[in-house]
Structure 1
Amino acid sequence: MEHVIFNIFMKAISPFYKKINRQTVKEDCISTYTIEKRKLKSSLKGAADTLSKCFIDWGIENKVSSITVNASYNDVYIRRLREDFALRKRLSIGGKFFYVRCCAHILNFLVQDDHCQLGGVIDVVREGIKYLNNSEYRLLEFPKIKKQLQLPSRKLLLDCPTRWNNTYLMLASGLEFKNIFPRYADIDPGFHYVPTDFEWMKVEEVCKFLGIFHEITDMIFGSEYPTANIFLVELYRIKELLNEKALDLFYHIRVMAGSMSAKFDKYWGESNVLLSLGAILDPRYKMFLINHAFPVIYGEDAAPRFVAEIRDILYELYNEYVDCHIVFHSEQQQRQVVKMKQNEGSSSSSKK
């Protein structure tokens, strides 16, 4: 925008054009961002009122026990909703599991950006695949080498850089065909995308690590009915894997595991109550899974306190159910008594 030719061009097409510098553009962008952020916060406050109205219109205002969200910017209207429900005394066990983080979102957040420990090898593999895909001739030559090496007929996959699972699949496919990269470079001088043996070794270790996360993510996203009882087992598997990889021989794996473990500890605390209760109510697990998983998730010293907390919440939920059951049946009996008296009155009137 500060180039002479650009400014001459803009002046020619718009007589009212005024030259601006990069600092002015930067300040305008920040100002616009601040204004839109303020508008978003205001709209989220309105979203809470809209959701409350919807619950009433649908007749479910007394049946909402928890809400699952997938991002922290929803905290504003979730807090408003919790306050509204609390004022009406319609939250189960005081709203202790009203706000639940989306488990799939937590998994994505754990892994996203942590594969940067691979350094430039991701860019090398990505650019190599782009180079091959940009020419019909290259796409024909690559399978010839693949056939010579008697490798599977699967294709190289190009990732979407903002989605870690796509990056994992790209690296896994590249790893499968790693012997083709140097052979293709021999016949194409323009192909400069050949990772070293050490870089491929790092890719292999990371793929082994991320393969577990990919499997669990597939299970959650791929299931049409992901019920609450399945999540605690998988989260336990993740924490156990992170604890194991924190002691890995490879430095980049230890760093990845440490960063992911810190995120896990931060977000698990906001979802543990409902997921724990879901597992307990599964007759295969009951409290056995809690007693087994919590020492791994929280550590041996802190686990008894959290186990006791979950047990107390379970009893509180049961007692609340009993109280509701008693109230409902007493009201039902009162209605039946009133109805019987009305029937007796009408029958005696008819006899007269």
Structure 2
Amino acid sequence: MDEDDCSVSKPIEHALYTPSIVSGSANMGPLSHEGRKNRSEAWNHFIQLEPKSDKRAQCKYCDILIRYEKGTTAMRYHVLRCPNNPNKAVNKRQKVGSSSTIDGNTNSPSYGRFDQELCQEELVKMFVEVELPFRFVEHVAFRRYSNALQPRFKILSCYTISRNIVTLWNAKKIYLKDFLSQHCQRVCLTTDAWTSPQNQSYMCLTAHFIDNDSNLHKRILNFRQVISHTREAMAKFVESCLHEWGLSRVLTLTIDNATSNDTGVQHLKKRLLSWNNSVLKGDYTHMRCYAHILNLIMSSGLKEIDNSVLRIRAAVEYIRSSPSRFMKFKECVERQKIEYKGHICLDVETRWNSTYLMLDAAFKHKMAFVELEFYDTKYANELGKEIGLPSYEDWEYVESILPFLSIFYEATLRISGNSYVTSNIYMLEVVGILNGINHLLKSNATSSATYKMAEKMRKQYEKYWGEPNKFNILLLIVVVLDPRYN
């Protein structure tokens, strides 16, 4: 699944990770709705608001409101990150350090108190981050190692680990929902569909927004199974997610450039109009994915690919088909003293960028392929009876098209960046692609096969980007407002 959009410069922590709270006063918190003292240390930093049935608390330092329906995990997480918390930098639990004397000698290390709750939280975070199976916690080696570190630590069962992860997710979801309600004025959405090897359909919805401090954020709101990838399913999925997160002020929805998606986007536009929160009457809500269009352009051109590429692909497929063949190829690499450390990779024919990476790596190992013809007779016999071995002319052809393919590959990387805004470079990349195609068509060194490939790409380019009315006007406004081009 591709998430090829603008992303985060200073993100909030990942929705599944919740740091422990900064220790505060040892006093008990306010009375709970059942009339007993709340034992969580979070209440030392929050004020319980009335009515208590709303289950909302206000931070004493920054006045942000946090819900505690599922517990105080979200409150403890906020205290650790609250910029106005005076104890954030000094009160950290379970510090381990050493003290030095005046003459510079180091005394024995000083250890903080053992905190069972903190250790359990860190254990849950480790399982989420490393994606460990839950039963790993019951392995005798892990228990032996944990006992050596801290005999007093009570290791959780695999069932408790799974429940704690769900609890952690629910707490983070409550916190993020409150954050969105207070910091998200306008949101841009991207959605993508994915089918698993078991033919199960999934959809993902990602939100991009700027908070009150002008920081850009990216959050995956939902990744769930759907009945199908039809336009009706897409529209209902997006609408239900917006209701779930309390979002109604949508600026754009970026989606693949499939004709079937147009109807789904129209349904979403009507819903936004009914909420009276659309921009320019929702006429420019639909944003067609740049990476998907570029993939269509490149795929059409590579259909005209020369037999040279097919022979090189067959050679790569041969050496990657078994470990013994790959070891022989590595020996050829060592004999030729090739310094390039990258590995040969087999491409996926439906992903043009993988074809570029395959050709680029193979070209850098071309002398190893030549050596393999003498070192492995089976390689020469097997490929010689079928499509043939890569020849000198084949490598020359690949060398001629690699610079052209690299233009598209690098453009895809730039527009798919995940640490900067990409809407302001969209039009520049579109124009750069056209210049690359025109340059190849006008080049005197262009072969007939390469010319056909570029001509096919030019026709596809005209289909999607050939006229100004095929662009989203918001992308043109971004270029006009960019002070670098005034």
- d(CA) in 2 for partners of 1:221 and 1:274? 18
- d(CA) in 1 for partners of 2:352 and 2:332? 29
Q: Offset of 1:52 from its aligned partner?
A: 4.0
- d(CA) in 2 for partners of 1:172 and 1:218? 16
- d(CA) in 1 for partners of 2:278 and 2:458? 32
- Match of 2:399, SS state, is helix
What are the residue-to-residue correspondences of 1:174-193 with 2, within 5 Å? 174-192=362-380, 193=383
Say whether residues 1:225 and 2:411 are aligned partners. no
Q: 2:261 aligns with which of 51, 56, 74?
A: 74
Q: 2:454 aligns with which of 231, 239, 257?
A: 257
Q: Offset of 1:214 from its aligned partner?
A: 0.8
Say whether residues 1:143 and 2:340 are aligned partners. no
Cα gap change, 1:190 to 1:40, in 2 (>3 Å): same
* Residue equivalent to 1:345: none
- d(CA) in 1 for partners of 2:437 and 2:330? 38
* Residue equivalent to 1:168: 356
- Match of 1:284, SS state, is helix
Q: Offset of 1:150 from its aligned partner?
A: 2.7
Q: Offset of 1:78 from its aligned partner?
A: 0.9
Q: 2:431 aligns with which of 233, 236, 240?
A: 236
- d(CA) in 2 for partners of 1:143 and 1:47? 47
- d(CA) in 1 for partners of 2:401 and 2:334? 27
Say whether residues 1:65 and 2:265 are aligned partners. no
What are the residue-to-residue correspondences of 1:97-108 with 2, within 5 Å? 97-108=284-295
- On the 8 A contact 2:252/2:287 being kept in 1, the answer is yes
- d(CA) in 2 for partners of 1:64 and 1:140? 54
- The residue identity in structure 1 corresponding to 2:421 is P
* Residue equivalent to 1:159: 347
- Match of 1:126, SS state, is helix
State the TM-score, normalized to the length of structure 1.
0.62
Deviations 1:104-133 (A, max 9, x none): 111212112422333333332222223223
- On the 8 A contact 2:416/2:422 being kept in 1, the answer is no
- d(CA) in 1 for partners of 2:299 and 2:421? 22
- d(CA) in 1 for partners of 2:364 and 2:405? 16
Q: Which moved more, 1:136-145 or 1:109-118?
A: 136-145
- Match of 1:190, SS state, is helix
State the TM-score, normalized to the length of structure 2.
0.46
- On the 8 A contact 1:160/1:167 being kept in 2, the answer is yes
- On the 8 A contact 2:250/2:272 being kept in 1, the answer is no
Cα gap change, 1:272 to 1:261, in 2 (>3 Å): farther
Cα gap change, 1:173 to 1:48, in 2 (>3 Å): closer
Q: Which moved more, 1:88-97 or 1:220-229?
A: 88-97
Q: 1:273 aligns with which of 465, 469, 473?
A: 473
- The residue identity in structure 1 corresponding to 2:333 is K
Unaligned runs of 5+ residues in structure 2 are 1-226, 384-388
- d(CA) in 1 for partners of 2:244 and 2:345? 48
* Residue equivalent to 1:95: 282
- On the 8 A contact 2:423/2:475 being kept in 1, the answer is yes
- On the 8 A contact 1:145/1:180 being kept in 2, the answer is yes
* Residue equivalent to 2:391: 196
Q: Offset of 1:183 from its aligned partner?
A: 2.3
Cα gap change, 1:48 to 1:159, in 2 (>3 Å): closer
- d(CA) in 1 for partners of 2:252 and 2:369? 51
- The residue identity in structure 1 corresponding to 2:326 is L
- The residue identity in structure 1 corresponding to 2:279 is S
- d(CA) in 1 for partners of 2:242 and 2:337? 60
**Which of the two has greater helix per residue?**
1
Cα gap change, 1:57 to 1:185, in 2 (>3 Å): closer
Deviations 1:235-256 (A, max 9, x none): 1111111121222332222222
Q: 2:309 aligns with which of 122, 139, 153?
A: 122
Give the % identical residues.
28
- The residue identity in structure 2 corresponding to 1:70 is D
- The residue identity in structure 1 corresponding to 2:395 is W
**Which of the two has greater strand per residue?**
2
Q: Offset of 1:218 from its aligned partner?
A: 1.5
- The residue identity in structure 1 corresponding to 2:295 is N
Q: Offset of 1:190 from its aligned partner?
A: 1.5
Cα gap change, 1:66 to 1:159, in 2 (>3 Å): same
- Match of 1:65, SS state, is strand
Deviations 1:198-228 (A, max 9, x none): 2222211221110111111122224333331
- The residue identity in structure 2 corresponding to 1:205 is S
* Residue equivalent to 1:285: 485
Cα gap change, 1:58 to 1:118, in 2 (>3 Å): closer
Q: Offset of 1:168 from its aligned partner?
A: 0.8
